[in-house]
Structure 1
Amino acid sequence: MTQTVRSSPLALTVLGMLHTRPLHPYGIQRLIKQWGKDQVVNVGQRTSLYRTIERLEESGLVAVRTTGRDQQYPERTVYEITDAGRAATRQWLEDMLAEPKREYPEFPVALSHLMMLTPAEALDQLERREQALAALHAGLEAGLAATAGLPRVLMLESEYVAATSAAQLEWLRAVIADLRSGRLAWTEQGLISTASGDAQAAQDG
């Protein structure tokens, strides 16, 4: 029985790689890294890649083309995209481009609980993040400079990642400056009083 697979960044990327030619899973993973798509999809764990391919096959979006053997790979299954896979790829791509989706990365969640730390502790952790983010951004900018001769359409995701990291870095540095100056500060007692006032207001309402 054909199953329906939900769209995901990794599933779309696998189908995108198979648009180029039939590939085995290792070839898909290698091509993702060669083309720099690992900036936007996680292919560090090959298990998740295999599971995604299995779901795509169960849904009829990819099919086994050949299964061969050689010295390096005892058994190597080569997959190809189906007509249904090409149609799904186009639909997923159009939806992902046109429709913003609410995502829940971990950093905003951590920020929502920042009051559990003291301002000094929060400053220490955010300064560490600023250093790591600055190094990441420098690497992204260097990567863009190294690939400046490529057609721009091939580098749009790298541009986007670099632009968003620059915006995050600017915002983070502003928060750090406010923590250092004391413009952003809190105390446990003050937060307790605020919470108590909110609770009383809710009861009164």
Structure 2
Amino acid sequence: MGELPPLSLADWIVLTVVDEQPTHGFAIAALTAEDGAVGRVWHIPRPIVYRCLDRLTGLALIQVETTEAGSRGPQRSILATTPAGSAAVAEWLHEPVPHVRDMRSALLAKLALITRRGEDPAGLIAAQHDILAPVRDTLRRRHAAATGFDRTLLLWRLENAEAAVRFLDAIGRSSPAPPPDDAG
């Protein structure tokens, strides 16, 4: 299939939810609603869910598996990932995020999705720690030598990196992976 174009976090979340089991857009929208099991980490409005589904179908990452009668409306399409979609999810889900600023969004979403699958997030947590610890150490050195506003800015970045590493250390100590949380 070749290299994928960049996908948004919403695209990745929708693709990963479809990869869990064949499903339909309304069920995905319920999971990603503000009070949904995934939406409490990263809310995706219903129109965006359907836009993601259209895009992912166009990229041949998901496909219509079947259609069924809706309980209160038109037929609904049951969607499943293609082999390319499943492979993309397997790679993305266990890839650490590149920046501390992505931890609140992408990393927490990945941890929620890994937990939903009943998988152990230890590999992702360790890989994320391996990326962030050197960043923290560099920020420590740069902060010590900085002056003026640069020192203030570096302190802000350092404190965020320190908190991120502490978070990873804390969740890395908790094991095994908790059971999937479908209750929201």
Taking structure 2 as the reference length, what is the TM-score of the superposition?
0.48
Query: Based on CA coordinates, which of the two structures has the bigger radius of gyration?
Result: 1
Question: Structure 1 or 2: larger helix share?
Answer: 1
Greater RCO, 1 or 2 (C-alpha within 8 Å, sep 6+): 2
